[in-house]
Amino acid sequence: MEHNSWQNRFQTIRSNKVFELTVISIIIFSALVIGAKTYDIPDDVSRLVTILDWGITLFFLIEISIRFLAEEHKKNFFKSGWNIFDTLIVVVSIIPIENTDMALVGRLVRIFRVLRMVSIIPELRLLLNSLLKALPQLGYVLLLMFIIFYIYAAIGSTFFYDINKELWRDIAVSMLTLFRVMTFEDWTDVMYETMEVYPLSWAYFLSFIFFTAFAFLNMIIGIVVNVLEDERQKDRKKAQEERGEPTLLELQQQLDEIKQLLHKQKQ
Protein backbone atom coordinates (compact mmCIF):
# COMPACT_ATOMS: atom_id res chain seq x y z
CA MET A 1 0.00 0.00 0.00
CA GLU A 2 2.79 2.39 0.91
CA HIS A 3 4.55 1.60 -2.39
CA ASN A 4 1.37 2.37 -4.35
CA SER A 5 0.93 5.57 -2.35
CA TRP A 6 4.42 6.80 -3.31
CA GLN A 7 3.90 5.77 -6.93
CA ASN A 8 0.62 7.69 -7.08
CA ARG A 9 2.41 10.76 -5.74
CA PHE A 10 5.09 10.49 -8.40
CA GLN A 11 2.42 10.04 -11.07
CA THR A 12 0.65 13.16 -9.81
CA ILE A 13 3.89 15.13 -9.99
CA ARG A 14 4.71 13.81 -13.47
CA SER A 15 1.30 14.72 -14.90
CA ASN A 16 1.23 18.13 -13.18
CA LYS A 17 1.30 21.02 -15.68
CA VAL A 18 3.45 23.13 -13.36
CA PHE A 19 6.06 20.36 -13.29
CA GLU A 20 6.02 20.10 -17.10
CA LEU A 21 6.36 23.87 -17.51
CA THR A 22 9.21 23.89 -14.99
CA VAL A 23 11.06 21.19 -16.93
CA ILE A 24 10.58 23.12 -20.19
CA SER A 25 11.81 26.33 -18.52
CA ILE A 26 14.93 24.57 -17.18
CA ILE A 27 15.65 23.13 -20.64
CA ILE A 28 15.45 26.64 -22.14
CA PHE A 29 17.63 27.99 -19.31
CA SER A 30 20.09 25.16 -19.98
CA ALA A 31 20.31 26.28 -23.61
CA LEU A 32 21.10 29.83 -22.44
CA VAL A 33 23.82 28.51 -20.11
CA ILE A 34 25.36 26.53 -22.97
CA GLY A 35 25.29 29.67 -25.11
CA ALA A 36 26.95 31.71 -22.36
CA LYS A 37 29.91 29.30 -22.36
CA THR A 38 30.70 30.22 -25.97
CA TYR A 39 31.48 33.82 -25.00
CA ASP A 40 34.68 35.16 -23.51
CA ILE A 41 33.41 35.75 -19.97
CA PRO A 42 35.23 36.65 -16.72
CA ASP A 43 36.40 33.84 -14.43
CA ASP A 44 33.82 34.67 -11.75
CA VAL A 45 30.99 34.45 -14.27
CA SER A 46 32.49 31.27 -15.69
CA ARG A 47 32.46 29.65 -12.25
CA LEU A 48 28.85 30.75 -11.75
CA VAL A 49 27.91 29.24 -15.12
CA THR A 50 29.61 25.98 -14.12
CA ILE A 51 27.63 25.88 -10.84
CA LEU A 52 24.41 26.56 -12.72
CA ASP A 53 25.25 23.80 -15.17
CA TRP A 54 25.68 21.28 -12.35
CA GLY A 55 22.44 22.51 -10.78
CA ILE A 56 20.63 21.92 -14.08
CA THR A 57 22.13 18.43 -14.30
CA LEU A 58 20.95 17.67 -10.76
CA PHE A 59 17.44 18.88 -11.62
CA PHE A 60 17.35 16.66 -14.70
CA LEU A 61 18.50 13.71 -12.60
CA ILE A 62 15.63 14.29 -10.14
CA GLU A 63 13.16 14.80 -13.00
CA ILE A 64 14.10 11.57 -14.81
CA SER A 65 13.96 9.71 -11.48
CA ILE A 66 10.42 10.98 -10.86
CA ARG A 67 9.33 9.88 -14.31
CA PHE A 68 10.90 6.44 -13.79
CA LEU A 69 9.37 5.94 -10.33
CA ALA A 70 5.97 7.09 -11.62
CA GLU A 71 5.97 4.30 -14.21
CA GLU A 72 3.72 1.45 -13.09
CA HIS A 73 5.74 -1.16 -14.99
CA LYS A 74 9.39 -0.10 -14.77
CA LYS A 75 10.43 -2.23 -17.79
CA ASN A 76 8.06 -0.24 -20.01
CA PHE A 77 9.96 2.95 -19.20
CA PHE A 78 12.91 1.88 -21.35
CA LYS A 79 10.70 0.67 -24.19
CA SER A 80 10.40 4.30 -25.23
CA GLY A 81 13.29 5.57 -27.30
CA TRP A 82 12.82 9.07 -25.89
CA ASN A 83 13.17 7.80 -22.31
CA ILE A 84 16.39 6.03 -23.26
CA PHE A 85 17.68 9.20 -24.91
CA ASP A 86 16.82 11.34 -21.87
CA THR A 87 18.44 8.84 -19.49
CA LEU A 88 21.66 8.67 -21.51
CA ILE A 89 21.91 12.47 -21.68
CA VAL A 90 21.44 12.79 -17.92
CA VAL A 91 23.78 9.91 -17.00
CA VAL A 92 26.62 11.13 -19.23
CA SER A 93 26.13 14.70 -17.94
CA ILE A 94 26.84 13.65 -14.34
CA ILE A 95 30.10 11.88 -15.22
CA PRO A 96 33.01 14.18 -14.17
CA ILE A 97 34.98 14.33 -17.42
CA GLU A 98 35.64 18.09 -17.65
CA ASN A 99 39.40 17.80 -17.12
CA THR A 100 39.93 14.65 -19.17
CA ASP A 101 40.33 13.79 -22.85
CA MET A 102 36.56 13.19 -22.96
CA ALA A 103 35.75 16.80 -22.04
CA LEU A 104 34.65 17.53 -25.61
CA VAL A 105 32.16 14.65 -25.45
CA GLY A 106 30.79 16.06 -22.19
CA ARG A 107 30.24 19.46 -23.80
CA LEU A 108 28.51 17.90 -26.80
CA VAL A 109 26.20 15.90 -24.54
CA ARG A 110 25.25 19.07 -22.68
CA ILE A 111 24.43 20.71 -26.02
CA PHE A 112 22.11 17.82 -26.86
CA ARG A 113 20.18 18.48 -23.64
CA VAL A 114 18.27 21.08 -25.66
CA LEU A 115 16.81 18.19 -27.67
CA ARG A 116 15.03 17.06 -24.51
CA MET A 117 12.47 19.72 -25.41
CA VAL A 118 11.28 17.33 -28.12
CA SER A 119 10.76 14.47 -25.66
CA ILE A 120 8.86 16.70 -23.23
CA ILE A 121 6.49 18.47 -25.67
CA PRO A 122 4.13 15.96 -27.39
CA GLU A 123 3.58 18.20 -30.44
CA LEU A 124 7.30 18.37 -31.19
CA ARG A 125 7.60 14.62 -30.63
CA LEU A 126 4.75 14.05 -33.10
CA LEU A 127 6.44 16.22 -35.73
CA LEU A 128 9.79 14.45 -35.40
CA ASN A 129 8.22 10.97 -35.39
CA SER A 130 6.23 11.88 -38.51
CA LEU A 131 9.39 13.11 -40.25
CA LEU A 132 11.25 9.90 -39.38
CA LYS A 133 8.38 7.71 -40.61
CA ALA A 134 8.21 9.72 -43.84
CA LEU A 135 11.90 9.07 -44.62
CA PRO A 136 11.32 5.82 -46.58
CA GLN A 137 8.90 7.59 -48.91
CA LEU A 138 11.08 10.68 -49.06
CA GLY A 139 14.02 8.49 -50.06
CA TYR A 140 12.48 7.73 -53.46
CA VAL A 141 11.72 11.42 -54.05
CA LEU A 142 15.30 12.35 -53.12
CA LEU A 143 16.64 9.60 -55.40
CA LEU A 144 14.61 10.99 -58.30
CA MET A 145 15.80 14.49 -57.43
CA PHE A 146 19.42 13.26 -57.48
CA ILE A 147 18.87 11.79 -60.95
CA ILE A 148 17.52 15.15 -62.18
CA PHE A 149 20.47 16.94 -60.55
CA TYR A 150 22.92 14.52 -62.17
CA ILE A 151 21.43 14.89 -65.67
CA TYR A 152 21.29 18.68 -65.50
CA ALA A 153 24.81 18.84 -64.02
CA ALA A 154 26.18 16.71 -66.86
CA ILE A 155 24.47 18.98 -69.42
CA GLY A 156 25.72 22.13 -67.65
CA SER A 157 29.29 20.85 -67.41
CA THR A 158 29.25 19.98 -71.11
CA PHE A 159 27.86 23.26 -72.46
CA PHE A 160 28.90 25.87 -69.89
CA TYR A 161 32.42 24.73 -69.00
CA ASP A 162 34.11 27.30 -71.28
CA ILE A 163 31.86 30.09 -69.97
CA ASN A 164 32.78 29.75 -66.29
CA LYS A 165 35.21 27.02 -65.26
CA GLU A 166 34.70 27.79 -61.56
CA LEU A 167 30.98 27.01 -61.67
CA TRP A 168 30.93 24.20 -64.26
CA ARG A 169 34.38 22.60 -63.80
CA ASP A 170 33.07 19.04 -63.38
CA ILE A 171 29.84 17.26 -62.57
CA ALA A 172 30.31 17.59 -58.80
CA VAL A 173 30.88 21.36 -58.94
CA SER A 174 28.02 21.66 -61.45
CA MET A 175 25.68 19.94 -58.99
CA LEU A 176 26.77 22.42 -56.31
CA THR A 177 26.04 25.29 -58.73
CA LEU A 178 22.62 23.82 -59.46
CA PHE A 179 21.93 23.63 -55.72
CA ARG A 180 22.66 27.35 -55.64
CA VAL A 181 20.18 27.80 -58.49
CA MET A 182 17.55 25.71 -56.71
CA THR A 183 17.85 27.84 -53.55
CA PHE A 184 17.63 31.05 -55.66
CA GLU A 185 21.00 32.30 -54.40
CA ASP A 186 21.91 34.85 -57.14
CA TRP A 187 20.82 32.27 -59.71
CA THR A 188 19.97 34.97 -62.26
CA ASP A 189 23.66 35.97 -62.40
CA VAL A 190 24.51 32.40 -63.41
CA MET A 191 21.73 32.31 -65.99
CA TYR A 192 22.52 35.70 -67.60
CA GLU A 193 26.19 34.71 -67.87
CA THR A 194 25.30 31.63 -69.90
CA MET A 195 22.70 33.51 -71.96
CA GLU A 196 25.43 35.73 -73.38
CA VAL A 197 26.73 32.64 -75.22
CA TYR A 198 23.56 30.52 -75.39
CA PRO A 199 20.52 32.86 -75.57
CA LEU A 200 18.09 29.96 -75.02
CA SER A 201 19.85 28.66 -71.91
CA TRP A 202 17.08 30.27 -69.82
CA ALA A 203 14.98 27.18 -70.63
CA TYR A 204 17.63 25.00 -68.96
CA PHE A 205 17.46 26.95 -65.71
CA LEU A 206 13.72 27.49 -65.60
CA SER A 207 12.95 23.83 -66.29
CA PHE A 208 15.43 22.80 -63.58
CA ILE A 209 13.82 25.17 -61.06
CA PHE A 210 10.36 23.88 -61.99
CA PHE A 211 11.38 20.26 -61.38
CA THR A 212 13.32 20.82 -58.16
CA ALA A 213 12.14 23.94 -56.34
CA PHE A 214 8.45 23.54 -57.24
CA ALA A 215 7.51 19.96 -58.16
CA PHE A 216 9.79 17.98 -55.83
CA LEU A 217 9.41 20.41 -52.94
CA ASN A 218 5.63 20.11 -53.09
CA MET A 219 5.93 16.32 -53.24
CA ILE A 220 8.09 16.32 -50.09
CA ILE A 221 5.65 18.61 -48.27
CA GLY A 222 2.71 16.43 -49.34
CA ILE A 223 4.35 13.24 -48.06
CA VAL A 224 5.25 14.79 -44.69
CA VAL A 225 1.75 16.26 -44.25
CA ASN A 226 0.09 12.91 -45.04
CA VAL A 227 2.29 11.03 -42.57
CA LEU A 228 1.68 13.73 -39.95
CA GLU A 229 -2.08 13.39 -40.37
CA ASP A 230 -1.84 9.59 -40.06
CA GLU A 231 0.17 9.97 -36.84
CA ARG A 232 -2.39 12.39 -35.44
CA GLN A 233 -5.21 9.96 -36.21
CA LYS A 234 -3.30 7.16 -34.46
CA ASP A 235 -2.80 9.38 -31.41
CA ARG A 236 -6.51 10.26 -31.34
CA LYS A 237 -7.43 6.58 -31.63
CA LYS A 238 -5.02 5.66 -28.83
CA ALA A 239 -6.42 8.43 -26.61
CA GLN A 240 -9.98 7.25 -27.27
CA GLU A 241 -9.03 3.67 -26.38
CA GLU A 242 -7.40 4.82 -23.15
CA ARG A 243 -10.56 6.76 -22.24
CA GLY A 244 -12.73 3.82 -23.22
CA GLU A 245 -14.47 5.77 -25.99
CA PRO A 246 -15.48 3.97 -29.21
CA THR A 247 -13.40 4.81 -32.27
CA LEU A 248 -14.84 5.91 -35.59
CA LEU A 249 -14.33 2.44 -37.05
CA GLU A 250 -16.14 0.84 -34.12
CA LEU A 251 -19.02 3.30 -34.48
CA GLN A 252 -19.20 2.50 -38.18
CA GLN A 253 -19.29 -1.23 -37.42
CA GLN A 254 -22.05 -0.73 -34.85
CA LEU A 255 -24.02 1.33 -37.36
CA ASP A 256 -23.65 -1.41 -39.99
CA GLU A 257 -24.90 -3.99 -37.48
CA ILE A 258 -27.94 -1.85 -36.70
CA LYS A 259 -28.68 -1.48 -40.42
CA GLN A 260 -28.46 -5.25 -40.90
CA LEU A 261 -30.86 -5.85 -37.98
CA LEU A 262 -33.33 -3.32 -39.36
CA HIS A 263 -33.04 -4.89 -42.79
CA LYS A 264 -33.77 -8.37 -41.34
CA GLN A 265 -36.77 -7.07 -39.42
CA LYS A 266 -38.23 -5.56 -42.59
CA GLN A 267 -37.92 -8.93 -44.31
CATH of span 137-243: 1.10.287.70
Mean pLDDT of 58-66: 86
The mean predicted confidence, pLDDT, of the chain is: 80
3-state secondary structure string across 63-87: HHHHHHHHCCCHHHHCCCHHHHHHH
Nearest residue to 222 via CA among 210, 214, 234, 232: 214
Per-residue pLDDT of 104-129, as tens digits, reads: 666 777 777 777 777 777 777 778 77
Of 28-37, 110-119, 157-166, 241-250, highest mean pLDDT: 157-166
pLDDT of residue 246: 56
pLDDT of residue 203: 93
Nearest residue to 208 via CA among 154, 267, 266: 154
Residue 241 has pLDDT above 80, yes or no: no
Are residues 3 and 10 in contact, defined by beta-carbon separation less than 8 angstroms? no
Please tell me whether residue 234 adopts helix, strand or coil conformation: helix
Higher pLDDT, 252 or 89: 89
Confidence of residue 174 (pLDDT cuts 50, 70, 90): very high
Would you say the CATH fold of 137-243 matches that of 5-120? no
pLDDT of residue 230: 81
What is 5-120's CATH topology?
A: Four Helix Bundle (Hemerythrin (Met), subunit A) (1.20.120)
Are residues 52 and 33 in contact, defined by beta-carbon separation less than 8 angstroms? yes
pTM recorded for the entire structure: 0.61
pLDDT of residue 47: 83
Q: Measure the CA–CA gap between 147 and 81, rounded to whole angstroms.
A: 35
* From 13-22, 54-63, 114-123, the region with the lowest mean pLDDT: 114-123
Confidence of residue 227 (pLDDT cuts 50, 70, 90): confident
Domain coordinates of the chain in residue numbers?
Answer: 5-120, 137-243
Question: How many residues are there in the chain?
Answer: 267
Are residues 65 and 13 in contact, defined by beta-carbon separation less than 8 angstroms? no
* From 9-23, 89-103, 169-183, the region with the lowest mean pLDDT: 89-103
